[in-house]
């Protein structure tokens, strides 16, 4: 158990990585907050969050309040007298009454280079907007959405074909490492934080499923970024006849043009589709309720001569 009294708040896999990093570095939190169990997967079974599953595996007590605005919950957290609350993708708003509890404040592990991409989906937005870099920030939390001062950051290049899932995993590991490296300094008051420049802030809103619908009138580069940004969730998709098809992988097709959405050609390499500017080759697709297949395999299952995707 750490000499620092750490209360950890997080829910998904991104947060689990930071929690595990704390435990393995000897900074084990004495209690974990995570969201209530939810129904998930095709079977809609009630499933514990990755953070809860890991916390229980290393015998850390777990709390799962529905809200942190409940006075009884605030009183319970206050009685714990934590030195610091470490937050990573928790998913619940921390009201001022909770932010005021720990002596060293609340520290957020955020997956962007603040002030760029405040909000719920910074990884996806970084890819969508063609950013060359992303990274991790350790931010002192305050009432505003990701507006707090930044103690430390670590940047990383975004790969030219990197998906959101791949970048997520790299940033999760980077976040755990940076948290372990800087936590003691922050709690001891030996690391100063810099205010963010609000004029440079961009907002990454929570993803809606409709955001992942491919608009073939967009240029090819934008559509390729969209496919990468929404892999693995919710998956970029388009309409083919009466089916919604997900596209998991594609590449730029040099020198090709046509009416947006028109299938320009099909061969053993994939399906060539015209965009608003340029064209792309669809390499990996998925029909509803089926496994992922190559573009060539998809074309063998469908009549694509003179086809137009919606």
Instruction: Please write the tens of the pLDDT for every residue from 159-217.
Output: 999 999 999 999 999 999 999 999 999 999 999 999 999 999 999 999 999 999 999 99
pLDDT given for residue 290 in this prediction:
93
Spatial separation of the C-alpha atoms in residues 252 and 282, rounded to whole Å: 9
**Residue ranges of the chain assigned to CATH 3.40.50.170:** 6-204
pTM of the model: 0.95
Instruction: Express as a percent the part of the chain with pLDDT over 70.
Output: 99
Spatial separation of the C-alpha atoms in residues 207 and 117, rounded to whole Å: 13
- Please, what's the largest Cα pairwise distance for the chain? 69
CATH C-level class of 209-301: alpha beta
How sure is the predictor about 78, in pLDDT bands with cuts at 50, 70 and 90? very high
Instruction: Please write the tens of the pLDDT for every residue from 23-46.
Output: 999 999 999 999 999 988 777 899
For residue 302, give both structure tokens: 């469908």
CATH C-level class of 6-204: alpha beta
**Residue ranges of the chain assigned to CATH 3.10.25.10:** 209-301
pLDDT given for residue 2 in this prediction:
64
- Give the burial string for 180-218 (b: 16+ CB within 10 Å, else e): bebbeebbeeeeebeebeeeebbebeebeeebbbbebeb
R_g of the chain, CA atoms, integer Å = 22
Average pLDDT of the residues of the chain: 95
């Amino acid at each position: 158990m750490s000499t620092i009294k750490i209360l950890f708040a997080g829910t998904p896999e991104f947060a689990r990585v930071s929690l595990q990093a704390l435990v393995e570095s000897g900074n084990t939190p004495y209690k974990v907050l995570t969201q209530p169990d939810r129904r998930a997967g095709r079977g809609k079974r009630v499933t514990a969050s990755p953070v809860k599953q890991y916390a229980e595996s290393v015998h850390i007590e777990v709390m799962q309040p529905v809200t942190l605005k409940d006075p009884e919950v605030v009183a319970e957290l206050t009685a714990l007298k934590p030195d610091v609350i470490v937050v990573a993708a928790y998913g619940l708003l921390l009201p001022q009454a909770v932010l005021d509890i720990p002596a060293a404040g609340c520290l957020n592990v955020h997956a962007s280079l603040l002030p760029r991409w405040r909000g719920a989906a910074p990884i996806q937005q970084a890819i969508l907007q063609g950013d060359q870099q992303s990274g991790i920030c350790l931010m002192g939390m305050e009432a505003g959405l990701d507006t707090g001062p930044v103690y430390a950051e670590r940047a990383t290049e975004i790969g030219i074909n990197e998906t959101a899932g791949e970048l997520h995993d790299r940033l999760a590991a980077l976040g755990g490492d940076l948290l372990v490296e800087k936590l003691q300094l922050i709690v001891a008051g030996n690391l100063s934080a810099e205010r963010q420049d609000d004029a440079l802030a961009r907002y990454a809103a929570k993803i809606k499923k409709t955001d992942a619908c491919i608009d073939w009138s967009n240029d090819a580069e934008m559509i390729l970024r969209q496919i990468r940004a929404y892999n693995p969730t919710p998956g970029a998709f388009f309409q083919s006849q009466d089916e919604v098809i997900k596209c998991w992988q594609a590449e730029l097709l040099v020198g090709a043009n046509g009416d947006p959405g028109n299938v320009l050609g099909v061969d053993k390499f994939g399906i060539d589709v015209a965009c608003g500017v340029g064209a792309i080759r669809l390499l990996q697709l998925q029909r509803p309720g089926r496994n992922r297949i190559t573009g060539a395999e998809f074309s063998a299952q469908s009549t694509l001569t003179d086809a137009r995707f919606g």
